């Protein structure tokens, strides 16, 4: 499967790749220029050196396109595909020197984003059958948010808000600055002309009661750092009110604990580790004369 230019590209991808190449290549790859004849053709093969989930194909292909539009990229495993050790993921055929110049940046995108997708797949499988969704956070690499959130989806996870602009999320510092939970919810309600989703974070049962007593109920309630013994009754209390509300849990949730949290009856489980702590998937790129 070949990848057309721009296929599946996140907004700003072209600029992101351009900046990454400028950082790496600078004024030119002196080693490649000194060792590789300009007319030598090559074939690059990217293989998995660990099991995982592929993501970042568009960024991978865009890197080769920017280095040399004459390089042909063929995809063996697309975004969301699972791979085992030794599986081919992609091929690139063209000028040997161009393949070398693009190699590191292309792999950096593919390894990092595949690592995020692999992490998301692990968490998604851990909660399978519970009805809970594992969602990401804003704890992303600066400039990479759209790419990393796409990788979360490729792995079977779900996206929370993209940024500060597409949903209200009232946290403890907002509550402190607004003068309390009731004041914060009322203030948001008076300014929510766009009818954006409204979520509020609570840390204790007392804060939860204040939210449930508000005349401006939120669309979502985030139970932050609730131990399981507190989480179960908190979820039960929210459901007892009878209003439709998304219940989210967050705070130090790991693969070892995520299913227990899901079985408490929450709708969403937000996990910053999907993006900020995902190890890169181990990949290798081998280039041979064509």
Per-residue DSSP letters for the chain?
-B--TTTTPPTTHHHHHHHHHHHHHTT--HHHHHHS-TT-EEEEEEEESS-EE---HHHHHHHHHHH-TT-EEEESS-TT-EE-TT-EEEEEEEEHHHHHHHHHHHHHHHHHHHHHHHHHHHHHHHTTTSS-EEE--S---TT-HHHHHHHHHHTT-B---SSTTSSEEE-HHHHHHHTSHHHHHHHHHHH-TT---EEEEE-SHHHHHHHHT-SS--SEEEEES--HHHHHHHHHHHHHT----EEEEESS--TTTHHHHHTTT-SEEE-THHHHSPPPP-EEEEEEE-
Given a cut of 60, whether residue 4 has pLDDT beyond it is no
Which of 43, 45, 138, 139 is flagged as catalytic? 139
Which of 201, 220, 248, 259 is flagged as catalytic? 201
263 is catalytic: no
Which of 45, 49, 104, 138 is flagged as catalytic? 104
136 is catalytic: no
Given a cut of 70, whether residue 37 has pLDDT beyond it is yes
Sheet containing 283-289, strands listed edge to edge, beginning at the edge strand earlier in sequence: 72-75, 88-95, 41-48, 283-289
Which of 79, 207, 224, 248 is flagged as catalytic? 224
77 is catalytic: no
Residue located via tokens 């919810």: 185
Given a cut of 70, whether residue 10 has pLDDT beyond it is no
Say which CATH topology domain 13-120+278-289 has. Aldehyde Oxidoreductase; domain 3 (3.90.1170)
pLDDT for the residue 11: 65
**What do you get for the CA distance between the two ends of the chain, in Å?**
19
Rounded distance between C-alpha atoms, residue 212 and residue 175, angstroms: 15
Which of 43, 45, 49, 171 is flagged as catalytic? 171
149 is catalytic: no
Q: Taking the domains of the chain in order of start, what are their residue ranges?
A: 13-120+278-289, 125-276
Supply the CATH classification number for the domain 125-276: 3.20.20.70
In 3D, which of 7, 115, 11, 22 has the Cα closest to residue 60? 7
pLDDT for the residue 235: 98
CB 67 within 8 A of CB 102: yes
**Residues whose CB falls within 8 Å of the CB of residue 11, separated by 6 or more in sequence, listed in order:** 146
139 is catalytic: yes
Confidence tier at 5 by pLDDT (50, 70, 90): very low
The tokens for 287 are 């280039």
- pLDDT (average), residues 206-211: 98
Average pLDDT score over the chain: 96
111-150 tens-digit pLDDT:
999 999 999 999 999 999 999 999 999 999 999 999 999 9
**Global confidence as pTM:** 0.94
- pLDDT (average), residues 265-289: 97
Q: What is the CA 257 to chain-centroid distance, rounded? A: 20
């Amino acid at each position: 499967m070949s990848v057309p230019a721009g296929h599946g590209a996140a907004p700003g991808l072209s600029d992101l790749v351009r900046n990454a190449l400028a950082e790496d290549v600078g004024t030119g790859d002196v080693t490649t220029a000194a060792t590789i004849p300009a007319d030598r053709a090559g074939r690059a093969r990217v293989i998995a050196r660990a099991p995982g989930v592929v993501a970042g194909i568009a960024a991978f292909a865009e890197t080769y396109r920017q280095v040399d539009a004459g390089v042909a990229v063929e995809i063996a495993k697309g975004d969301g595909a699972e791979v085992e050790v030794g599986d081919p993921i992609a091929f690139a055929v063209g000028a040997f020197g161009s393949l070398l110049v693009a190699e590191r940046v292309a792999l950096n995108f593919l390894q990092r984003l595949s690592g995020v997708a692999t992490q998301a797949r692990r968490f998604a499988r851990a909660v399978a059958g519970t009805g809970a969704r594992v969602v990401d956070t804003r704890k992303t690499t600066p400039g990479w948010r759209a790419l990393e959130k796409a990788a979360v989806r490729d792995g079977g996870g779900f996206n929370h808000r993209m940024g500060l602009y597409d949903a209200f999320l009232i946290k403890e510092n907002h509550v402190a600055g607004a003068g309390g939970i009731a004041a914060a919810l009322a203030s948001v309600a008076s300014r929510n002309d766009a009818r954006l989703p409204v979520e509020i974070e609570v840390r204790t049962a007392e804060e939860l009661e204040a939210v449930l007593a508000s005349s401006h109920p939120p669309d979502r309630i985030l139970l932050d750092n609730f131990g399981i013994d507190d989480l179960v009754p908190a979820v039960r209390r929210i459901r007892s009110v009878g209003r439709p509300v998304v219940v989210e849990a967050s705070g130090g949730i790991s693969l070892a604990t995520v299913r227990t949290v899901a079985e408490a009856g929450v709708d969403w489980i937000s996990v910053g580790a999907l993006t900020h702590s995902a190890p890169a998937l181990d990949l290798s790129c081998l280039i041979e004369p064509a």
